Amino acid sequence: MTNEELWKAVLGQIELTISKANFVTWFKNTSIHDHADGVVTIGVPNGFAKEWLENKYNHYILKALKELEPSIREIRCTLAPEKAPPLGTSPAKNIDAIKAPGAHPGFVRKKIIEQPSFGSVPHTTPVFHETNLNSRYTFENFIVAENNELARAACYAVSQNLGMAYNPLFIYGGVGLGKTHLLQSIGNEVIQNAPEKRIKYITSERFTTELVDAIKNQKIDKFKEYYQQMDLLIIDDVQFLSGREKTQNEFFHIFNALYQINKQIVISSDRPPKAIPTLEDRLRSRIEGGMITDISRPTLETRIAILESKLGEKGVVLDAASVRFIAENASQNIRELEGALNRVVAYGEFHKMAPSLESTQKILAELIENNKKNLETEDIFTAICNFYTVAREDLIKKGRKKEVSHPRQVMMYLLRQELGMPFSTIGELLGGRDHTTALHAFEKIDTKKETDSRLKEEINTLKETLYYA
């Protein structure tokens, strides 16, 4: 069995054991790089895929390999950015095959279509088709994690098969979580593989402005004609169309025209379609007929990975403790995270020294203060009950079962640490217990978290929930 045949067989088995999104995200463009002396080296396209295959999917891969060749005892991963054979046993159509004759990396887009002027003043020189894409946004530099892996997988699938994979594709999530990055990654991936494709990325506000100008200057037909020529239309922040009846009507007609001829439509919003007020039912129905996926707030681990990636791009070294501190305290969204990092990096550059944990804490003191909310006893009760899946009454009543006693001790610790509550009050609050019980619980958790990494992570996660959720 050749390496290619072996890897196809392995992929076939793995595809049956993990989700489609995870399979596409982490196993795309992988191959067996080397196979000797019981060691299989897998070529992966980037460092993030390498980390995930080594740490999370090592067991799946090794098990599948051993079933096919029992002599295999170990797997390793190495960076091999070149494209590997397509996933699965039936190779999918390679989008590169539809490149224009003579197309090559660095291909300069020729005139495609003239963009009409929708305003009252005509252009003095021809204006050609503009994508509005930022080349910085690619799939390669997008940090994939559990909070966004399905959205990323869907976007990549769309980029490889316009109009066929998921159409329309609707992505929603809060501000600064990476929606725009993913949307533009689709366009940039298509440009790289098929430069002749006509692509348009536009915000809903800009779309509305152009429409108003077109109506005002009696150029609505040119407006429609222009957008209906697109192979890929990306509309960002569609929630701003809410309440704009005329804009929604024209967008609906453009949407239908593109959809009927299998042209790709990708839409983003800060909320799901059902939660967008005054969105026309017919437009909502069309959107809900496609693929809807969300991007949630990144986890602590994801935020650390993002910071490390940004530091690598900047060529800056920052100690692990400082990186973790930034990740723990700039948790609202990725923009805030990057902003905090930029402040720390700028401080280091100005003073010509690498910022320490102490200086990082001082630099971000204002940010932390602004982010923190006023904490109350009820907030801690709710967080403990939700995190450990225990009932409030179980925390209060007598009982020493570990599944209840541990959450109770953590709660005592947080009541003291975060609210400064007297031990006598803590004991009284949790079932009329003696103050020495609360004191013992505090000291036990405070000491144990320094050596118990799992407990430390529990405390950090709970604090994040309390202050930043």
pLDDT digits (tens, 9 = 90+) for 234-266: 999 888 777 777 888 888 888 888 888 889 999
First to last CA, the chain: 52
If asked whether residues 288 and 310 sit together in one domain, one would say no
- In the chain, what percentage of residues exceed pLDDT 70? 84
Rounded to whole angstroms, the Cα distance separating 361 from 347 reads: 12
Is residue 109 over pLDDT 60? no
| Strand order, beta sheet including 74-79 | 31-36, 39-44, 74-79
Task: Let me know if residue 167 belongs to a domain.
Answer: yes
| CATH code, domain carrying 396 | 1.10.1750.10
- Please give the pLDDT value at position 114: 52
**Residue 132 included in any domain:** no
**Is 14 in the same domain as 48?**
yes
> Per-residue pLDDT averaged across 387-409, rounded?
85
Instruction: For residue 398, tell me if it sits in a domain.
Output: yes
**Domain with 188 in it: what CATH number?**
3.40.50.300
Which token pair is 146?
A: 């559990």
Quick check: is 107 in a domain?
no
Of the listed ranges 157-166, 350-359, 452-461, the one predicted with least confidence: 452-461
Considering the domain architecture, whether residues 240 and 168 belong to the same structural domain is answered as yes
Q: Are residues 326 and 272 in the same domain?
A: no
Residues 332 and 358 in one domain: yes
Could you tell me if residue 105 is inside a domain? no
Q: Are 337 and 330 in contact (CB under 8 A)?
A: yes
Query: At what angle are helices 453-468 and 300-314 packed, to 10 degrees?
Result: 90
Pair (290, 154) in one structural domain = yes
User: 133 lies in a domain?
Assistant: no
Category of 179 on φ-ψ map: left (φ > 0), alpha (ψ -120 to 50) or beta: alpha
307 and 286 together in one domain:
no
Residue at which a domain ends, from 295, 326, 356: 295
Q: Is the pLDDT of residue 97 over 50?
A: no
- Counted domains in the chain: 4
Q: With contact defined as beta carbons under 8 Å apart, do 258 and 228 qualify?
A: yes
Q: Work out the pLDDT band at 106, boundaries 50, 70, 90.
A: very low
Q: What's the average model confidence in pLDDT over 434-441?
A: 91
Q: What distance in Å separates the CA atoms of residue 370 and residue 229, rounded to the nearest whole number? A: 47
* Residues 344, 267 within the same domain: no
CB atoms within 10 A of CB 198: 17
Are the C-beta atoms of 152 and 182 separated by less than 8 Å? yes
Q: Write the pLDDT tens digit of every residue in 110-128.
A: 344 555 555 554 444 333 4
Alpha carbon distance 282, 172 (integer Å):
19
308 and 291 in a common domain:
no
Residue 352 has pLDDT above 90, yes or no: no
Shared domain check, 217 and 157:
yes
Domain hosting 18: range is 3-79
How far is 157 from 186, CA to CA, in rounded Å? 9
Query: What are the tens digits of pLDDT across the range 170-225?
Result: 998 877 788 999 999 999 999 999 988 999 999 888 888 888 888 888 888 888 88
291-295 and 169-173 strand pairing: parallel
Residue 265 lies in a domain: yes
Per residue, the 3-state secondary structure of the chain, as one string, reads: CCHHHHHHHHHHHHHCCCCHHHHHHHHCCCEEEEEECCEEEEEECCHHHHHHHHHCCHHHHHHHHHHHCCCCCEEEEEECCCCCCCCCCCCCCCHHHHCCCCCCCCCCCCCCCECCCCCCCCCCCCCECCCCCCCCCCCCCCCCCCCCHHHHHHHHHHHHCCCCCCCCEEEEECCCCCHHHHHHHHHHHHHHHCCCCCEEEEEHHHHHHHHHHHHHCCCHHHHHHHHCCCCEEEEECHHHHCCCHHHHHHHHHHHHHHHHCCCEEEEEECCCHHHCCCCCHHHHHHHHCCEEEEECCCCHHHHHHHHHHHHHHHCCCCCHHHHHHHHHHCCCCHHHHHHHHHHHHHHHHHHCCCCCHHHHHHHCHHHHHHHCCCCCHHHHHHHHHHHHCCCHHHHHCCCCCHHHHHHHHHHHHHHHHHHCCCHHHHHHHCCCCCHHHHHHHHHHHHHHCCCCHHHHHHHHHHHHHHHHC
Q: Tell me the pLDDT tens digit for each residue of 133-169.
A: 888 899 988 888 777 888 998 999 999 988 887 888 9
Residue 93 lies in a domain: no
What pLDDT does residue 96 have? 32
pTM: 0.52
Measured distance CA(417)–CA(329) in Å, rounded: 17
182 and 243 both lie in a single domain:
yes
* Residue 154 and residue 204 in one domain: yes
Q: How far apart are CA 24 and CA 22, in angstroms?
A: 6
Quick check: 218 and 118 in contact, CB under 8 A? no
